[in-house]
Structure 1
Amino acid sequence: MLEILDTQVITLNINGEERKVAVKPSDILLYTLRNNFGLTGPKPGCENGDCGACTVLIDDWPVKSCLMLTVEAIGKKILTVEGLKDASIQKAFVEEYGFQCGYCTSGFLMVCHSLSKIHPDADDTTIQEWLQSNICRCTGYEEISIAVKSILNK
């Protein structure tokens, strides 16, 4: 007989705030953020880790939230695009037109924000490698790359 898994109440650190939520062991972080906390910046796209629209930062590193169980985030710092709060990369995306339709933008913002913190002296090759983790169907890669370069070494 198949046993139904119960929910458990866990605490997550989301955008610097401790928040409680009841989850099942199989719940995916993307949907916990969206459905339980109203944080709709991480977008469902491919839902298999290819597109990057769901990217959040876990302990400052980009992670595709569609591939992470919510319970794996216990004890870690989760940062969504809502938690950036006027980060320099957001201003750079606006100034350099680093978005088109906008669906992928939150994922790219998270990757670029992390890149600027982890590799503040990133060269073109490093920037290109990091941007490969996300897909922009409108082909805004050049503008996104320019936006990243504009905030590095500042």
Structure 2
Amino acid sequence: MTDTRPGDDIAALIEAKVAAAVEQAVREAVDRLRWAPRVYGDERKLHVHPTAVVNDALFNLSSGEITVEEYAFFGHGVSVLTGTHDITVFDRARQVTVPKSGRDVVIGRGAWISTNALVLGPCRIGEHAVVAAGSVVLADVEPFTVVGGTPARVLSTISERPGGTA
């Protein structure tokens, strides 16, 4: 015969419920971190339309504002950076000499920024443009244009109405 005390069954039930709730909360927190963007700088300088999908992007707002317009979407690991450093100074000064503004980035309506692309401000990615995976964007991308490479260059253009609703 096992030696049980009154309430052991209730304690075990409560312990199991608490363990399940904690496990669920941890799983949800990890998912939020995995799929949430990372923001460096003043979050008030980041403007993401509610229809945009940015996944786990990194946004650096040190030197400007970033706007992501309607229906724009990102692959994973995209970085959009406004910050830069002054190469004419050295040591600690190089680390901390960062312009406060002037390097804004706008990602236009319906633009697709593919996985691991790097977008460096100042620039504008035009509406319905496509930035190929792994590309480095250093300048404006015209609307309905596909760019790729390092640095990104024009690969092709897209018909403005290829059966979609552009």
Give the TM-score normalised by the residue count of structure 1. Answer: 0.28
Give the number of the structure whose residues are more often strand, by fraction.
Answer: 2
Give the TM-score normalised by the residue count of structure 2. Answer: 0.26
Give the number of the structure whose residues are more often helix, by fraction.
Answer: 1
